[in-house]
Structure 1
Amino acid sequence: MSTAAPVEESARPERRRRRWRRTKITLGILLAVAAVVAIIGSITPWPSAMVIRAVFTKGGDDTAAEMDRHVPDTKLTETLDVAYADGGADTTMDVFSPASASGPLPTVIWIHGGAWVSGAKENVDPYLRILAGEGYTTIAVNYTLGPEGVYPLAVTQLNEALAYIDAHAEELGVDPTQIVLAGDSAGGQLASQLATLITNSDYAEIMGLAPALRPDQLVATVLNCGVYDLSALAELNGLVGWGFKSSMWAYSGAKDWAEGSTGATMSTIDWVTADFPATYISGGNGDGLTWLQSIPMAKRLDELGVDVTTLFWPAPHEPQLPHEYQFHLDQPDARTALEKTIAFLDAHTTR
């Protein structure tokens, strides 16, 4: 027993040295990995886009589950995964209409959000089931996300979707003379871009696209929490700025997207005209995009004489309403937005 203590004491410094060596090796590996990720991230948008996609996918799934609780028991006719082009799942759509419908109905075509790099039609299906229960045909449309697809692929695909819907209106239960384009977040930007393509021939020429619909077929737009001025987006800093800039790099395929045709043609605030359709536009007071994007867009449309219905909340409103607040139907303010959306649709369509 007299020799055990000295042996134990002499072993302790050696164990501490081994632990410190292992810690240094682990830290070195972590730093090396971080350096590699940083280098890769400066060359390609893929790592950042995949992080953003993972976060948005989880949020989208949770929000869809929340909306599911508010879908009424109204019996609907549902046709899922309709292929509007040959791009696989990317070019499919889900169609909903009241089972009691005896003919074509005014139709809401909804483009999902997700910062142009995430999201799917299933994220908005519950909301469209609710709207269909109010007497509309509703269609949720997929498109190729960045970085797998590069701008303007999504715009081209969505224009093809409109062409398909117009050509197959009768079998889809669509009244092709009463189309409403709608979207949330990045989908709001895309909806505004398609509406601009349809109503501004100069813009269509710049885009090099022939609009699938005539202006008189488009009766309204619903724009929630969207982006309409890319130059303002490019000035954002911090985590939000990093997220948007990374998404735009992935979606556009160019790190300098703000300096060329991508940022210019996506900035629909600069291309809308007096022929833009009647518009409902909303955003939460806790969402920076409301102040930076939605309110300026609403003001621009109003200046042009477009019929604009807005739902904006005072800055001190509590609770602070976040990005995509309108989908959080557990909250009274989101249900208010839903009621106003339905009232807007009722005011600009006939059934």
Structure 2
Amino acid sequence: MKKFLLALVAIVALAAVTVLYITPWPSVWAIRMLFDHGAKTASDALVKHLPDNVTAQRALRYDTADRDALLDIYRPAQLDPARPTIVWIHGGGFVSGRRGDIENYLKILAGKGFAVVNVDYTIAPTATYPTPTRQFAKAIAYLDRNAGKLGINGDAFVFAGDSAGSHVAAQLANIVTAPDYARKVGITAPITPAEMKGALLHCGVFDAAMLDPDAGGFGGWFIRTVIWSYSGKREWRDVPGFETFSVGNYLTPAFPATFISAGNADPLGPQSVKFDRQLRAQGVTVTSLFYPPDHDPPLGHEYQFNLDGEAGQKALAETVKWLETLDRKTM
């Protein structure tokens, strides 16, 4: 019995060392289980809000050499061809998520009169930074190249995302508008700045320096897992080129008009507030939706997906209102 207990202790210790120092995979699997459950709950709650005037094209391959390169397109029965095309990339902490998680929300958005594209990508640790942004660029190039055939407006794109997807959307928007940054990241802009009309960013992460992997509790464990997985190294600060993750440090006045929002109880909320400030410092036109610290009920991460709550309804209404201002500018 004593030998068995010693062996068990050794196994547990080895597992702990593996998680802490060798590979992030055990923690990634735990995060995926947690996020998958939350995404399903949020998606199921949106079913009653689904419009009946939206059709879908599913599983279009935007890169024939990439098995993960799939996208869906949702459009209302009556689509004004002058309206901008919203291209949304999902969140999931870079280590989880799939386009099906946000399908219901994007159908609801499409029901407001827009063509909405839902882009999938390869998640970490299988793919490291900046693979998702490179894939997103290929998706945009595909949409631009095939706009007529797909029945979307290829002259007016809005890059959109939630959580980790907000980072990818913001990064590609900066690649399109800041050639020096594009060269640093090593990704070619898929369209011209004139074809990009806006960036729609919900509950995003934009600055690696604001992430503290040494914080205690769940937050520290989560950040350590995600940043290790996405950078490709446990000591992520030593990864060449990863400094370009912090998009706000490379902005120019050419960045497109932006809508940005986060909840008052979102751990990533300060990231959006800082990015908003950085955009405004460049003279970018920004529409923001933030909430006072004492807002009740507290609004957590991805609050906008809860359309049973007043804040989620407001976020959707304000998003549509902002998109309609872009619509008028494209006509």
- TM-score normalised to structure 2 length: 0.94
SS at match of 1:134: coil
Q: Establish whether residue 99 from structure 1 lines up as the match of residue 82 from structure 2.
A: no
Match of 1:47, as an amino acid?
Answer: P
**Is the 8 Å Cα contact of residues 304 and 316 (structure 2) preserved in structure 1?**
yes
Greater shift in the superposed pair: 167-176 or 116-125: 167-176
Q: Label 1:158 to 1:111 Cα distance change in 2 as closer, same or farther (>3 A).
A: same
Cα drift, residue 77 of structure 1 = 2.3
**Is the 8 Å Cα contact of residues 228 and 267 (structure 1) preserved in structure 2?**
yes
Superposed, which structure 2 residues align to 1:282-297 within 5 Å?
A: 282-291=261-270, 293-297=271-275
Could you list the per-position Cα deviations for residues 146-184 of structure 1 after superposition, in whole angstroms to 9, with x for gaps in the alignment? 111122221211111111010011122221121000101
The residue aligned with 1:227 is 205
Pairs aligned (count): 327
Could you list the per-position Cα deviations for residues 30-50 of structure 1 after superposition, in whole angstroms to 9, with x for gaps in the alignment? 533421221211111111111
Larger radius of gyration: 1
Cα drift, residue 316 of structure 1 = 0.5
User: What is the CA–CA distance in structure 1 between the aligned matches of 2:65 and 2:224, rounded to whole Å?
Assistant: 27
User: What is the CA–CA distance in structure 2 between the aligned matches of 1:39 and 1:86, rounded to whole Å?
Assistant: 40
Identity %: 38
The residue aligned with 2:256 is 277
**Is the 8 Å Cα contact of residues 234 and 258 (structure 1) preserved in structure 2?**
no
User: What is the CA–CA distance in structure 2 between the aligned matches of 1:30 and 1:219, rounded to whole Å?
Assistant: 59
The residue aligned with 1:215 is 193
**Is the 8 Å Cα contact of residues 280 and 310 (structure 1) preserved in structure 2?**
yes
The residue aligned with 2:32 is 53
Superposed, which structure 2 residues align to 1:301-316 within 5 Å?
A: 301-316=279-294
Q: Establish whether residue 123 from structure 1 lines up as the match of residue 101 from structure 2.
A: yes
Match of 1:52, as an amino acid?
Answer: I
The residue aligned with 2:302 is 324
| Structure 1 portions without partners, runs of 5+ | 1-20
Q: Establish whether residue 265 from structure 1 lines up as the match of residue 244 from structure 2.
A: yes
User: What is the CA–CA distance in structure 2 between the aligned matches of 1:30 and 1:266, rounded to whole Å?
Assistant: 41
What value does the CA root-mean-square deviation take over the aligned residues?
1.8
SS at match of 2:72: strand
Q: Label 1:30 to 1:341 Cα distance change in 2 as closer, same or farther (>3 A).
A: farther
- TM-score normalised to structure 1 length: 0.88
SS at match of 2:176: helix
Q: Label 1:26 to 1:315 Cα distance change in 2 as closer, same or farther (>3 A).
A: farther
The residue aligned with 1:169 is 147
User: What is the CA–CA distance in structure 1 between the aligned matches of 2:293 and 2:80, rounded to whole Å?
Assistant: 45
User: What is the CA–CA distance in structure 2 between the aligned matches of 1:309 and 1:27, rounded to whole Å?
Assistant: 60
Q: Label 1:173 to 1:184 Cα distance change in 2 as closer, same or farther (>3 A).
A: same
User: What is the CA–CA distance in structure 1 between the aligned matches of 2:188 and 2:239, rounded to whole Å?
Assistant: 22
